[in-house]
Structure 1
Amino acid sequence: MEVRPLTPDDVDLVCRHREEMFREAGRDDAVLRAMTERFRPWLEPRLRDGSYFGFVLAEHGRAVAGIGLMAIDWPPHPAHPTQDKRGYVLNLYVEQSHRKQGLGRRLMQLAEDEFARRDVQYAILHATEMGRPLYVALGWHATTEMAKDLRPAACP
């Protein structure tokens, strides 16, 4: 399996993998199209400037898995009192034809190595139900994070 870094030419691949990841998690196609319509212009400049980075695993030149990473500004925190960045793992996706071959594990190791290279000592991710067992097996654990949708409620 070939490993290469993400490049700006991978925008379509990242968008496709992101859509498939959320589709498999049960999200509606119309919502996914709207998401990608906004995600693509968000992603393009970040791939170009390197603030969104990551890796692709390819077989015979065809991408079969990928992972996105960011080092995000975050104030020092009890979990990382001397760091002002958090690593963020997103969009890990392995195509169905290549699952159960250790590719997700390989991508996560590449991610952790890259964060270490960048001196990022604490990282977060949001797990789908499908991905959760992998992350737990690699030593990741749930935190106290909560979320709330702040958009106004739809009128009946």
Structure 2
Amino acid sequence: MDIRTLDADDLDLICQHREAMFRDAGQRDDVLTLMTGNFREWVKPRLLDGSYFGYVIQDAAVPVAGIGLMLIDWPPHPAHPMQDKRGYVLNVFVEPDYRNRGLARELMHLAEAELVRRGVTFAILHATEKGKPLYRGLGWHGTTEMAKTLDVPPCREVGEDAMECAAQSVSSGACGGEPS
């Protein structure tokens, strides 16, 4: 097995791994198709400028596992009171035939070392149920983060300013709120 850093030629691989990761987590194909197209456009410039980086593990030059990393802008926080950034780990994926061999653990060790090398003192990730035991075993723990998908109509179709569109959606009850 060989380990190498991601490069711009890995765009398709990164997209394939991300889609397979979410498919393994139970996401629907129609959602994944939409996500992958948009993710491709989002990650391409970041891969080119180095703001999305990471590692690939290969077996005889065939990629079998990968991990993505980013530094994200974040205000100083009790977990990192002197720093305005966090490390972000994403797209951890190991091909099914290569699972349970320690490859994800190796990728996580590489990720942590790279983030430390870049001066990051705090990192986050979002774990699938399958991934949680691995991350817990490496010392990662849950946080107080909560999430909600907001039901706002696409403003591009409405032809309005995004703030006006969101405000009208909330006041009309389109987001599940009471009309004003």
Let me know the Cα RMSD of the aligned residues.
1.2
Aligned to 2:113: 113
Measured in 2, the distance between the counterparts of 1:154 and 1:116 equals 41
Q: Give the SS at the match of 2:93.
A: strand
Q: Please say if residues 88 and 125 of structure 2, whose CA atoms lie closer than 8 Å, have aligned partners that are also in contact.
A: yes
Measured in 1, the distance between the counterparts of 2:72 and 2:36 equals 21
- Write out aligned runs for 1:4-153 (5 A): 4-152=4-152
Q: Give the SS at the match of 2:129.
A: coil
Structure 1 residue ranges without an equivalent (≥5): none
Q: Please say if residues 150 and 175 of structure 2, whose CA atoms lie closer than 8 Å, have aligned partners that are also in contact.
A: no
TM-score by length of 2: 0.84
Measured in 2, the distance between the counterparts of 1:32 and 1:114 equals 29
Measured in 1, the distance between the counterparts of 2:148 and 2:32 equals 20
Q: Please say if residues 86 and 121 of structure 2, whose CA atoms lie closer than 8 Å, have aligned partners that are also in contact.
A: yes
Measured in 2, the distance between the counterparts of 1:43 and 1:71 equals 14
1:151, distance to aligned residue in structure 2 (A): 2.2
Measured in 2, the distance between the counterparts of 1:44 and 1:107 equals 22
Q: Give the SS at the match of 1:142.
A: coil
Q: How many residues align?
A: 155
Aligned to 1:2: 2
Task: After superposition, give the CA deviation of every residue in 1:126-151 in whole Å (9 maximum; x if it has no partner).
Answer: 00000000000000000000001112
Q: In structure 1, what residue type is equivalent to 2:73?
A: D
Measured in 1, the distance between the counterparts of 2:138 and 2:175 equals 40
Aligned to 2:157: none
Task: After superposition, give the CA deviation of every residue in 1:59-89 in whole Å (9 maximum; x if it has no partner).
Answer: 1000000000001011100000011110000
Measured in 1, the distance between the counterparts of 2:33 and 2:175 equals 21
1:154, distance to aligned residue in structure 2 (A): 8.6
Q: Give the SS at the match of 2:87.
A: strand
Q: In structure 1, what residue type is equivalent to 2:92?
A: L
Identical-residue share of aligned pairs (%)? 63
Structure 2 residue ranges without an equivalent (≥5): 153-173
Q: Please say if residues 86 and 122 of structure 2, whose CA atoms lie closer than 8 Å, have aligned partners that are also in contact.
A: yes
TM-score by length of 1: 0.97
